[in-house]
Amino acid sequence: MGTSTASLAIGPYRGHTRLASGGGGEVWEADGPRGATALKIARTDQQRDALRREIAVLKRLDHPHVVRCLDGDPDEGWMAMDLVRGPSATEWAVSRSTSELVEFGALLADALAHLHERGVLHNDLKPDNVLVDGDEPRLIDLGLASGPSDGEGPCFQGTLGYAAPEQLARRRGSKPSDVYALGALLYRLLTGRPPFVADDEAALAWLPMHSLPEPPSSLLPGMPGALEELLLRMMARRPESRPTAAQLPQQLRGARVGKPRRVVLGMNAAREPLRQAIVRLTEGRGGVFVVHGQEGSGRRAIIREAVAAARREDLPIISKPLAGHDLTETVTLATAPAILALDGAQPIARQVAEAVLTHQPPVLCLLRSEQTIIPLERMGAKHIRPTPLEIAEVARLMVAYRHDPTHAAVLHRATRGLPGAVYGQLRQGGASALSAMERRLLVATTRRPVPIPDLSEALGISELAIVDLAEPLIDRGLMVELEDGACLMAARG
């Protein structure tokens, strides 16, 4: 969309520069009774219907980050709006800091909350529908928006890459689907690419319905862990697992600083099947995956990532048997979706996996193993093997851990690209300067492995905060993960 010089006259307005032309009509820069304005012109009956709806919606709104309707005649097919001369959100975001982008997102979330308070759904939130006035967002193009009298909104007419899975399934828009779109928009601004990338529209429509976004820290190492968690929860597969727009301004501002998560790079051929397995689990379909490879190959990292994704979908994690039952019976009796991760070398692990494959409860069982488990493979278990990191991925990890990336080839050769070995070289040592909360966590896990939900209750902080607290202790060798992240225990000796 570029600008072109021409002229038109409609109502009291004289358009002199065409700014854009698309499915919603034409937008002109025009002069009128209020000075310079943006003049939207509908050329077809469909565009005129959308314009009529947009005028009705905008007249219900009054927010500094939502463009105003100044004048309009839907019968004649035109509307005058605030003229915003700034760039699109995508253009503006280049070279901006994470803190600036998060504040931008908080302002946009506040505008979205205003829409929802007034009973309005945007239904097509994306970077092209956000212009920047100074350094602040202005939400434009509410042609697909809907209000209380329109029901829950039109069937899907949004934009691939930003539409929520339920919209792609031809269900009507909702407040959670607007939150999903905002999460996708912020993901794009922060990482430089949308949550899903595909070569054709069919694949781009399929992926959000059957997979989950790659954690953004894989694209932007150093991102605060709380910010990554919030973005991914905004794009949770289950609408009820997403925060509300009203909660987001405070949550975003609170998440823009803090410790980064342990970065997981590469290994997409192994990580993607597990993301798809989490989606199937939300739909009540379980299964067994054996993640196999040598020590340090990344097995723990990708299983931990899958367990974290399950937490974001509010799926229970089985970490201990039900009272009066062993673990195999507990899994067999499950009636609601749940996940568990086990060391495949334990005898109980194979028994549990066999029970899942035989009785098919809605349970996803993840086994860590050094090699394939042939009997389980014959029963239908999926086997995946992480691949070593490439030199460029090692370099990105070195940047994240504040090491000189020019030595990436040397580190890659020394570690053969095995993620565990690379992390081991980059970890910081020493056990000094523990915080009070870190000491409490170590004391709470000294005698036995403790499930993360139990630690959350005992220490009075969220499960996410427990994970963030534990990661530097694990890196320093003071704590170990058991059941691939479901339980924590202080290291012995």
Active site residues: 124
d(CA 167, CA 161): 11
Question: Where on the phi/psi map is residue 312: left (φ > 0), alpha (ψ -120 to 50), or beta?
Answer: alpha
3-state DSSP assignment of residue 80: strand
Alpha helices in 360-462 (DSSP H): 374-379, 391-400, 408-415, 419-426, 436-444, 452-459
User: How big is the chain by its Cα radius of gyration, in Å?
Assistant: 26
d(CA 106, CA 484): 34
- Residue 130: which of 140, 121, 115, 122 has the closest Cα? 140
Angstrom distances, CA of residue 466 to CA of 437, 461, 471 = 10, 7, 9
- Burial class (CB within 10 angstroms; exposed 0-12, middle 13-18, buried 19+) of 85: exposed
Secondary element (H or E) of residue 69: strand 69-73
Angstrom distances, CA of residue 277 to CA of 212, 280, 490 = 10, 5, 31
- Burial class (CB within 10 angstroms; exposed 0-12, middle 13-18, buried 19+) of 171: middle
CB atoms within 10 A of CB 73: 14
**258 in Cβ contact with 225 (< 8 Å):** yes
Q: Are strands 382-384 and 287-292 parallel, antiparallel or unpaired?
A: parallel
Angstrom distances, CA of residue 326 to CA of 37, 334, 457, 472 = 70, 13, 24, 33
**127 in Cβ contact with 91 (< 8 Å):** no
User: What tokens appear for 334 in the block?
Assistant: 């499950």
Question: Taking the CA of residue 336 as centre, how many other CA atoms within 13 Å lie in the half-sphere pointing to its CB?
Answer: 5
- Burial class (CB within 10 angstroms; exposed 0-12, middle 13-18, buried 19+) of 31: middle
Q: Angle at the Cα of 375 (from 369 to 376), degrees rounded to 5? A: 60
